[in-house]
Amino acid sequence: MRVLVTGASGFLGREVVRAAADGGHEVVALVRPTARLDGLAWPTSVAVLRGDLRQLGDWTKELSRIEAVVHLAAAPSGDLPTQFSGTVVATENLLAHVPMKSLRRFVHVSSFSVYDYASLGFRGMLTEATPIDPAPEKRDAYTITKIAQERLVTAACEAAGVHLVVIRPGAIVGPGKDWGFGRVARVGAFDLIFSPGARFPLTYVSNCADAIVKALDAPVPAGSAYNIVDDELPTYGQFHRLGRRLRGDAVGSALYVPWFGVTLLGGAVSLVNALLFRGRAKLPEFLDRRRQRVRWRPMRYSNRAARMDLGWAPAASLEVAVRSLREEHEG
Amino acid sequence: MTRLRAAVIGCGAIAHEHLPYLSSSPRVELAAVCDSSKATASFMRDRFRAGAWFTDAASMLEEVRPEVVHVLTPPQTHAALVTMSLDAGAHVICEKPMTGSAAETETLLREARRRGLALVESRNLLFNDLAIAIDRLATNGKIGSVREVDVLLSLDLTAGPFGDLNLSGPGVHLPGGAVHDFLPHLAYLFLHFAGGPETVDHVSGFLENRSGNARVGFDHLDALIEAGDVRGRLRVASDVAPPAFRLVVRGTDRSAEGDFYNPFLRIEGGAKIGKRAPLEQIGSGLKLARAGVTNFFDKVRQHGTYHGMPRMLDAIYRALQDREEPPISEVDMIATARLVDRIVALGEEA
């Protein structure tokens, strides 16, 4: 299929382009005008289309023969107007110009962030059936915009009768993105590690890219959603120890705060916020009770549906993933 | 008290500063929001509990018949939208700069006056704690006769959307480039603390592009202004750190200095200062430390640079309800626009 990949030069996009081309697809990689592509080593068959989805331009004229879309483009940082423009308005522009009526499939890459973590209990199982957060405005701009983006794509695909598959990855790791090996903050020579016994729902970037490419032609019902995490999920404590073993120079000694302490801290800060600031204080993630729950509450994760329906299996092991982080460092 | 029916055209970043007031004030019924992006308009309707959303301003004006319209779109679209709103019988609150030239601004103000409607250009910084505090000092005679007003904005204008080279075309469609978008702030602060002269005597200096970023237009300003007994220096610098928005008002008796981004207020001078200057410096240091603590808590409770916006809007809505003159006068707006014109001309001269 002739597949348009948006956000193609991003951390995940560059792997998706490679995996889709290796899978025999004719890939059109949409990258921003200033994106640097040297070093990406994409196959020569990949066609590069330059454009910015936030603004209509010549890119809109190059989409007529597209048969499938993998939509990765988003603005994951900045304030709400910035993220809204780069995630939601960008998606609106894409949907207005891609030939929806003739599309065979639309693979939308969403996030674990859209889920309602308050609906899950301690050590609860996060699945595709977990509800979407009904109050994202109480979380952060990323959650707000990823939910708005997913709803926009779903509505447009339903209206046009396009076969939509939603992929919701956990924390994507790979060269250049090690999540600080689970570190919340650096305190002198120590790394503050919250909830060391909780699982870190990671997926290695090439594993995640494989799942996305599988979603392009897997025989799954329209509107299906799949959570993507790898098979071997380390705890935050284990992930940090792996990092320390590999990159002792950059990773400090662990200072553990168990989940009970984390939630107690969040509760105390929440009380102070309510009493002194009428709940208006904008708190960093590690002090915000709602966001603490998303990130550090011990939970269980499953990739069963993706394995069964997409025929996907994470090819790279945890060891390979972590080794790649070391190689990146050494490189 | 009857609420005024308000509508917003343009739901970009600055709308997030207007809409919290409009959705919570007892003076206002937020009737509609409008944006060319359907996703944005519907999102903002939900977020700020507006009555309706539109993607076409003309349709909104016809269907909703708002009494007050906030024009919050990019500057080059203001004139047409302000005119359309006035034609629909609405008072207008327009983001700065209202237009790209004083002549256009004066035309719009004339049109508003002819229809018996208010047209107000935003001056939110005059309603910030810092400006109010310096105003109070000046009003109480603590500063003496004002002789110098300096304003420095140090902000990397190339880092934001103005200089984003992924986007095509100019970052802002104004003759003074990205600097022009901020110039009304500098101009009205100078004029306000200089005592409100309607004209200035002399403007000299430089308006340049120093970054080489073509999209940003002008990113550097250094202008000297003289207006009667008052002189001033207005600067915009994109290449110095940290980001600051500094205001210094110097008078015959005292000087006051503060910052809009990281607020503090330092007052120097007075009749008995001389050998006691070191003591005054120690006092200033203690006040600076206290300002740091206040600043920290202000950031926590999100009392940011735009905290003057709801005060300004409330003053405007109160005036509209009481059928009084708005707190920002036509004379002030024209004087500001004319000073901005003269500063922008420095770029043309270059």
The model's pLDDT over A86-101, given as tens digits with 9 standing for 90+, comes to 999 999 999 999 999 9
Residues in chain A where the model's pLDDT stays below 70 = 247-248, 327-331
Q: String of b and e for B9-36 (b: at least 16 CB within 10 Å)?
A: bbbbbbbbbbbbbbbebebbbbbbbbbb
Q: Which of residues 18-77 of B touch A (CB under 8 A)?
A: 37-40, 43, 47
Q: Which domains does chain A have, with CATH numbers?
A: 2-174+201-231+299-317 (3.40.50.720)
pLDDT of B297 reads 86
Residue A172: helix, strand or coil by DSSP? Answer: strand
pLDDT of A331 reads 46
CB A9 within 8 A of CB A31: yes
Residue whose structure tokens are 């004339």? B110
Residue B336: helix, strand or coil by DSSP? Answer: helix
pLDDT of A327 reads 65
CATH number, domain B126-307+340-349: 3.30.360.10
Which of B45, B301, B306 is the best residue to mutate to test the A interface, defined by the most A CB atoms within 10 Å of its own CB?
B301
How many Å apart are CA A13 and CA A9, to the nearest integer?
5
Give the β-pairing of B91-94 and B28-34: unpaired
Q: How far, in whole angstroms, is CA B220 from its chain's centroid?
A: 18
Percent of chain B clearing pLDDT 90 (strictly above): 87
Contact A81 B47 (CB under 8 A): no
Instruction: Give me the interface pTM, i.e. the ipTM.
Output: 0.92
Residues of A in contact with B302 (CB under 8 A): 280-282
Q: Of B81, B76, B80, B117, give the one whose Cα is nearest residue B8.
A: B81
Residue whose structure tokens are 């110095």? B240
User: Across the strands, what pairs with B232?
Assistant: B149, B225
* CATH 3.30.360.10, chain B: domain bounds: 126-307+340-349
User: Which pair of structure tokens corresponds to residue A128?
Assistant: 């595709």
Q: What is the dihedral of CA B125, B129, B130, B134, to 10 degrees?
A: 110
Residues of B in contact with A88 (CB under 8 A): 39-40, 43
How many Å apart are CA A87 and CA A68, to the nearest integer?
19
CB B194 within 8 A of CB B186: no
Residue whose structure tokens are 């034609």? B87
Contact A34 B37 (CB under 8 A): no
Contact B39 A152 (CB under 8 A): yes
Residues B134-143 pLDDT 10s: 999 999 999 9
- Nearest chain A residue to B43 by CA: give it: A148
User: Is a pLDDT exceeding 70 seen at residue B343?
Assistant: yes
How many Å apart are CA B177 and CA B160, to the nearest integer?
13
Task: Tell me the CATH class for B4-121.
Answer: alpha beta
Query: In angstroms, how far is the first alpha carbon of chain A from the final one?
Result: 35
pLDDT of A38 reads 87
pLDDT of A324 reads 83
What is the pLDDT of chain B when averaged over all its residues? 95
Mean pLDDT of B46-67: 98
User: Which pair of structure tokens corresponds to residue A18?
Assistant: 């490679």
User: Is a pLDDT exceeding 90 seen at residue B275?
Assistant: no
User: Is a pLDDT exceeding 90 seen at residue B279?
Assistant: no
* CATH 3.40.50.720, chain B: domain bounds: 4-121
Q: What is the dihedral of CA A212, A214, A218, A223, to 10 degrees?
A: -10
Residues 6+ apart with CB under 8 A from B275: none
Residues B191-241 pLDDT 10s: 999 998 888 999 999 999 999 999 999 999 999 999 999 999 999 999 999
User: Is a pLDDT exceeding 70 seen at residue B350?
Assistant: no
Using only C-alpha atoms, chain B has a radius of gyration, in whole angstroms, of 21
Residue A171, φ and ψ in degrees, nearest 5: -80, 115
pLDDT of A293 reads 92
